[in-house]
A and B are shown apart, each in its own frame.
Chain A
């Protein structure tokens, strides 16, 4: 690792700096009483426009995105650019749906999407399914953040012979992360996000001006990519889409956007904001990150033009395409700037990993611990359980990477996107309508999960020689009744079937007069705003005597 000393020193210094910030964050905008889930898990529900912009931006655009999206363009070309339409259409969707979810959560003290479903459909079972889906989908996502850091460490030559030696830097990094998340809660990633995003913006601005200049201009870069894809035997690559992958592009962009805001960690960022205006204004400001992501994606083509050869992967003969961007930086930039760029990616992994572990911990606390283990838990006990769960979640994520093939986490992440989409009828449509029967939603969830998992299992990957879980592009010809070369995104097909089943079962249950749950929310809950006079009053309608449904009062209004 001799020739990487400058990079390693700068990386380590910046990493330690933000770790210090993580611990100090507990005292930033400090509450009177940190022992409350609203404080530890949602930063007091008090973040204004700027903090929300950095926090949600740092949350949605993860280190893995920054490493994997250019790797996709490097490998497949235009198909990888789906990340741009994906991150454009998510904001109007959030505008339409999450603003209402913020309001109803504000009034009822909801912390997780499953909290909302619990009250909206009066169904602890459905809420449990939503909570488990959220936890299962989030875990591999956290593990993937480690893949982002690992790609950087690998490029810097920080590797060892034994399993433990190779992973020691990551174990240390995550131990530090776990410690300050435990202490500071959501305030830690919120504060670190400022540093992370500033570094990323600087690195990318420099990269998109300096690299094209060095490589002979944008035209040359695109032509180099075009020449590479023309020469490859794969029919589905190229700098434009073709008949075979256009539908995959469309369905993947739409499906990913729908999935992204159903992930519990997106909601955590949104619920932490102070009022509806903060969220709405951010929907106009957050697309700055989409522009950043679009430009980062093009680093994949720059790597082609610069002749980057990815480092070997974990298995013999495979390549780790996630190393193309770190390698491009290493090859093109002076080593001090490469150090900054690597630190940006490494720190970039910490922010989402912290928020995701908080979101998963909140789901466990609110919808499993409080629902099934200790119904009379106090807010202080809730906060404590969440803190400990967040540690467990991170240990699990590290174990996934250290003891299992990282490919396993990537597969799980692929499945995660598909299964989190199956909460769409209950959570996203539930925001607008109470029409579905709770039994119908459960049936739809089962159908969507089953079909989605089967479809993923059936997808082979010719490039890696795997027979199953080879990607998310499902060839329609696998359905016996369709004859077409077209591929589509599994998640969108599965959620369509989910919706169909939910609707049919709803009609059947209504016809059979099977009792449905009630609804603890009222129509005007969906536009309540900061300063709402009814926020701190338990708002359960008459007839509901279950003390467990009483929302935790919001301390700061």
Chain B
């Protein structure tokens, strides 16, 4: 993270430094994983009677929640 106190060319540089964080790249994980159908397009193993196709995709919701939570927490500290 660059030091926002030492802008190269005035206010806009501070702006970019403040808004950008490598943690944001983590957000692409829950964007891409739910789109990889070979991961979950199976019937077995079943969980509580749910075929993999259904329980694994419902589990991806947890993946999405954890990612946005982590990114929010990590980017918040950098204010």
Contact = CB atoms under 8 A, between A and B. Distances in A.
Instruction: Using C-beta atoms within 8 Å of the partner chain, give the interface range for chain A.
Output: 35 or more
B77 interface: no
Contacts of A277: 76
Interface string A510-531: 0000000000001110110000
A267 interface: no
Given A95-B71, A219-B49, A240 B57 contact: no
A240 B39 CA distance: 12
A95 B68 contact: yes
Given A88-B30, A92-B31, A249 B37 contact: yes
Interface residues of B, number: 38
Given A290-B61, A524-B15, A284 B68 contact: yes
B8 interface: no
B35 A85 contact: yes
Interface string B17-33: 01100001001101100
B11 interface: yes
A93 interface: yes
Contact of B64 (A92, A240, A246): A92
B29 to A, nearest CB: 8
Interface string A73-94: 0000010010011001101110
A93 B34 CA distance: 13
Contacts of A287: 61, 64-65
B15 A81 contact: no
A85 B60 contact: yes
Nearest to B42: A240
B75 to A, nearest CB: 8
A220 B48 CA distance: 11
Contacts of B50: 218, 222
Contacts of A89: 30-31, 34-35, 64
A109 to B, nearest CB: 19
Contact of A523 (B12, B30, B57): B12
Contacts of A220: 49
- Interface SS of A by simple majority: helix
Contacts of A298: 54
Given A81-B53, A84-B58, A218-B48, A93 B35 contact: no
Given A95-B68, A240-B41, A284-B65, A88 B34 contact: yes
Given A522-B12, A524-B15, A91 B64 contact: yes
A259 to B, nearest CB: 15
Interface in A422-446: none
A253 B19 CA distance: 28
Majority SS at the chain B contact face:
helix
A100 B28 contact: no
Nearest to A281: B72
B34 A85 contact: yes
Nearest to B57: A84
Contacts of B35: 85, 89, 250, 253-254
A246 B41 contact: yes
B53 to A, nearest CB: 6
A239 B19 contact: no
Contact of A246 (B18, B37, B54): B37
Interface in A246-294: 246, 249-250, 253-254, 277, 280-281, 283-284, 287, 290-291, 294
Given A92-B31, A240-B41, A523 B53 contact: no
Given A85-B35, A218-B49, A239-B51, A291 B15 contact: no
Nearest to B50: A218
Contact of A241 (B14, B37, B58, B64): B37
B28 A92 contact: yes
Given A253-B34, A280-B68, A527-B19, A221 B49 contact: yes
B68 A92 contact: yes
Contact of A250 (B15, B37, B67): B37
Contacts of A212: 49
Contacts of B18: 524, 527
A476 interface: no
A96 interface: yes
Contacts of A85: 34-35, 57, 60
A379 interface: no
Contacts of B69: 284
Contacts of A222: 46, 49-51, 54
A217 interface: yes
Which 4 interchain pairs have the tightest Cβ spacing?
A: A218-B49, A219-B49, A524-B15, A85-B34
Given A89-B64, A523-B16, A527-B18, 19 more contacts: A81-B53, A81-B54, A81-B57, A85-B34, A91-B64, A92-B27, A92-B31, A92-B64, A96-B27, A100-B19, A219-B49, A239-B51, A240-B53, A250-B37, A281-B72, A284-B68, A291-B58, A522-B11, A524-B12
